[in-house]
Amino acid sequence: MPITPAGAAHDAPNGTADAILLELVDEKGVTIGTAEKLTAHQPPGQLHRAFSVFLFDERGRLLLQQRALGKYHSPGVWSNTCCGHPYPGEAPFAAAARRTHEELGLSPSLLAEAGTVRYNHPDPASGLVEQEYNHLFVGLVQAPPAPDAEEVAATAWVTPAELAERHAKDTFSAWFMTVLDAARPAIRELTGPSAGW
């Protein structure tokens, strides 16, 4: 798949720009159609498939990313390691691995499914709505991130205590706590009790 900035269109072979399409789903996660990305996020939002990745190092620290300031949706906020949308027909696992590499230059040594969560989070700053059926993934990484500056402004490795401190003072994505809480059982299984997640 091509590496495509989240809000960009790309040129088709016929010279026209193709819109980025998202997979629309019903409440059970069954595909029911597609919609252009920005359209799907306009209020009240259309329920669509998404994914969220949580990667940890050998010390059990979570890799956070600060979204690039050029993003049209939730720019400059902190969030989980990686999140995004599969292309229509693309498996969520494949999309999660693809975008983790595109955004952060990382290929996890382990990546595992961690369930799904459905939410509806308006973003007050942009007026857009995250109406998502989100596939969760947890994993381990052994290399330092090499972020794409068009996607990621900064990264940080955090323990649970450091995350609590950062969450109290910095702005996080509207969906962050929802996806983190939904992924916690898998995170605890992955990192073990001593990590404190």
Contact present, 95 and 87 (Cβ < 8 Å): yes
Contact present, 88 and 20 (Cβ < 8 Å): no
The answer to whether 165 is a known catalytic residue is no
Cross-strand bridge partners of residue 157 = 63
Of 83, 102, 130, 151, the active-site residue reads: 83
Please give the C-alpha separations between residue 98 and each of 42, 76, 81, 164, in angstroms, as whole numbers. 26, 22, 13, 29
Contact present, 134 and 52 (Cβ < 8 Å): yes
* List of residues 6+ apart from 182 with CB closer than 8 A: 114, 115, 116, 117, 134, 136
The answer to whether 132 is a known catalytic residue is yes
Contact present, 116 and 134 (Cβ < 8 Å): yes
Residue 66 to residue 60: CA distance in whole angstroms: 19
Contact present, 18 and 9 (Cβ < 8 Å): yes
**Residues forming the active site:** 83, 132
